[in-house]
Structures are given as C-alpha cells and as structure tokens.
C-alpha cells in the first residue's frame, strides 16, 4: 500500500467470484468484467458496480467492445476481465488485469493508481496477464492479443 490507499473487502470478494466457477451458478450470472476505482474520499479502492459486466450482459455483441465501453476514456480505472481465447493448441480462459490511466486523466490520479497497483495485485494472486491502457491505440484488440502471447486464432469467439 505504497500510496496509502486501502483495498476494500468487496474488491477481494469480486476477485474470488470472477476467478472461481461456483457450482450451481448459472453461466449468464458469472462475472465477465469487474471495474474498480478510488472511493470518493480517495482512501480505498472499491468496486465500480455500475461498470461491471456479467456474461449475460455481453450476449452476442462484440465482447471486447462491450468490455472497453465500461472503461472510461478520461478517468483512471482498474479492471479484471475474464477473457476467452484460442491459440493453436487449445481454448483458454484467463483473467486479465487492466490498468487504465488515460493521458487526459489528472496527473495526481495517474500517480495514485500506479502506486496502488502492486498492493491491489497482491490481493489477487495468480494473475498472468496485465493490459495497460494509456492512449486510444492501447484499446485495440491487437494490443490485448499481444499481451496474451500473440498467435491467437480467436478472441472471444471472433477470428484474430
């Protein structure tokens, strides 16, 4: 917690919910995206409920476009995205940690988000991929494909 910002229990609960398939949970009720932000008093990282997505919320739309629509283009945010992709060997599903620190966000906000990232990730063991979004070009599918190791056949069911 280098920044002095605490991580709320709800963030850890949502992380546990998105990473573990709970028996009896309907597929559409599973979390697809958890968006996190600083609380109004800027003392803790909380879940931004209004921007979270469940599998049923994405339906037959372009999933990546829907996910990115929930990440503001002018404010910093963290995200956990349950990404489904296929490479030459197999179909995979992994959590991708997102740090969005757009150029248009305030310098103070970018500094707090950057300095809080390590503490937040420490509460989320096992994350293999990180996608940092700083400018519009970073929001392209090709950037995510590169983070996932490149050479993908498909991303969220769409050919790459």
Domain map (residue ranges) of the chain:
6-159
Query: Is residue 119 within 8 Å of residue 2, measured between CB atoms?
Result: yes
The structure's pTM equals 0.92
- What is the reported pLDDT for 25? 67
- What is the reported pLDDT for 95? 96
Percent of residues, the chain, with pLDDT higher than 90: 79
Classify strands 91-100 and 129-133 as parallel, antiparallel or unpaired. Answer: parallel
3 pLDDT band (50/70/90 cuts)? Answer: low
If one counts every other C-beta atom within 10 angstroms of the C-beta of residue 135, the result is 11
- Flag the least confident range among 20-29, 46-55, 65-74, 96-105: 20-29
d(CA 115, CA 118) in angstroms, rounded, equals 7
Domain 6-159 carries which CATH code?
3.40.20.10
d(CA 160, CA 147) in angstroms, rounded, equals 14
b/e string for 88-108 if b means 16 or more Cβ within 10 A?
Answer: eeeeeeebbbbbbbbeebeee
d(CA 45, CA 39) in angstroms, rounded, equals 6
- What is the reported pLDDT for 1? 47
- Flag the least confident range among 18-22, 50-54, 90-94: 18-22
- Please state, rounded to an integer, the average pLDDT across all residues of the chain: 91
58 three-class SS:
helix
Classify residue 135 by its DSSP letter: S
């Amino acid at each position: 917690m280098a920044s002095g910002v605490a991580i709320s229990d709800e963030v850890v609960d949502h992380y546990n919910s998105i990473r573990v398939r709970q028996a009896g949970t309907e597929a559409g009720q599973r979390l697809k995206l958890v968006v996190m932000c600083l609380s109004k008093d800027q003392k803790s990282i909380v879940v931004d409920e209004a921007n979270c997505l469940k599998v049923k919320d994405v339906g037959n739309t372009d999933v990546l476009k829907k996910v990115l629509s929930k990440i503001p283009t002018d404010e910093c945010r963290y995200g956990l995205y349950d990404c489904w992709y296929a490479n030459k060997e197999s179909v995979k599903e992994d959590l991708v940690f997102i740090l969005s620190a757009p150029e248009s966000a305030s310098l103070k906000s970018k500094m707090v988000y950057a300095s809080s990232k390590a503490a937040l990730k420490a509460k989320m063991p096992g994350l293999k991929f990180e996608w940092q979004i700083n400018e519009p070009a970073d929001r392209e599918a090709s950037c995510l494909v590169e983070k996932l190791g490149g050479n993908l056949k498909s991303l969220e069911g769409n050919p790459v």
